Structure 1
Amino acid sequence: MRIAVTGTHGSGKTTLIDDFVDQHADYERELEPYWALAQDGIPFADGASLPDLEQQLAASAQLILARAGTPDVIFDRSPLDFIAYLEVVSEDEGLEWEPSGRLLGQIEKALATLDLLVFLPLSNPDEVRVPIELPRLRARVDRRLKAILREDALELLADGPKVLELSGSRAQRLATLDRAVKSAYVLAAQQASR
């Protein structure tokens, strides 16, 4: 399965991916676009800036598309993360952000290659016990992602991946993801045998 894990910062994405890859050695892991770009020497501004977020959005779509032939891969973030950040940050700057037609096409193609989009909404009470930077931005991006994923507010998911929203403890989230992956493999095997 091709899986992308999405959520605002400090929602547990990387922890879930670490736990999943520990149990599924056959899965390849793709870094969050920020870290992939940073490894390539791309500098970023302090805080969330529109140019940096646009660059990460394009990188997210490109990373997913570049791995389109990889059957078992898990991505840290999806293009939808960056769309949510861009919408929130642009609103703070008194702007309305929209992707170019070309970028929108890449986003749609990237999402269509995914089998599963795992969403980690913030929980109440928050499971993260350490201070998270930019807490207001974090909460606003979480609200925007909920609208994007639960209501398909951007109309990008009709032909895209199945969305799995996870909550609960670290162990519960991993167990739910494991069950979803196993079910998908069983279903695929049944369809192949027909």
Structure 2
Amino acid sequence: MRIAVTGTHRVGKSTLLEELGDRLVGYQVVEEPYHLLEEEGYEFASPPSLEDFLEQLRRSMELLEDAEAARDVLFDRCPIDFLGYLLTHEDSDSFDPEEWLARVRSTLQTLDLVVFVPIEERDRIPLSAHEDPEMRATVDEKLAWMLLDDPWELGVEVLTVHGSTSARVTQVLERLERG
């Protein structure tokens, strides 16, 4: 299966992905676009600019397209993540999601499952002092709206996970067992 783990920052996506990678023998784990771009020398603004999120969106779509033939892949993030950040960015007025939706939709169709890790009542990962909790909550709400309400008819299966890392892993594995 081709699975993407999605959610705002500091919700435990990468930890979940690492645990799933350990449990799902034979699965390839694809790092999130931010880290891949950084390794290639891309310099992100602090805080990230609209162009930084657009670059991550582009890379995320490329990763899904490049790995299209590969089965058994775990992706750290997918295009939905970056739409969430773009739609909530302070410069979001200059971003038109309609320009991107056809390609986003087609790349998401290469996925069998999107695992959504929302912010929970009790945060499992503390935020650093420089992080904006309101922006993070707004991104989380936007992701939930796009994935669960599906206003753009993205047509992807979404599994929302909750609880500890081991509980989340169990929820994903149980879903995979059902086929």
Tell me the TM-score normalized by structure 1: 0.86
Q: Look up the match of 1:108.
A: 105
CA separation in 2, counterparts of 1:39 and 1:129?
26
Deviations along 1:77-123, whole A, 9 cap, x unmatched?
0100100100000xx3371521364x433211110010000000100
Q: CA RMSD in A?
A: 1.5
Q: 1:138 aligns with which of 127, 136, 139?
A: 136
Q: CA–CA distance in 1 between the matches of 2:150 and 2:98?
A: 19
* Structure 2 SS opposite 1:95: helix
Q: Residue 13 of structure 2 corresponds to which residue in structure 1?
A: 13
1:58 equivalent in structure 2:
58
SS at match of 1:113: coil
Task: State the shift of 1:136 in Å.
Answer: 1.9
Kept in 2, the 8 Å contact 1:5–1:120? The answer is yes
Of 152, 155, 168, which residue of structure 2 is paired with 1:154?
152
Please tell me the residue identity of whatever aligns with 1:21: G
Q: Counterpart of 2:162?
A: 167
Deviations 1:40-61 (A, max 9, x none): 1111111121000001001101
Change (3 A) 1:96 1:147: farther
What is the aligned partner in structure 2 of residue 190 from structure 1? none
Tell me the SS of whatever aligns to 1:173: helix
- How many aligned positions are there? 178
Relative to the length of structure 2, the TM-score reads 0.93
Deviation at 1:125, TM superposition (A): 1.6
**Which residue is equivalent to 1:182?**
177
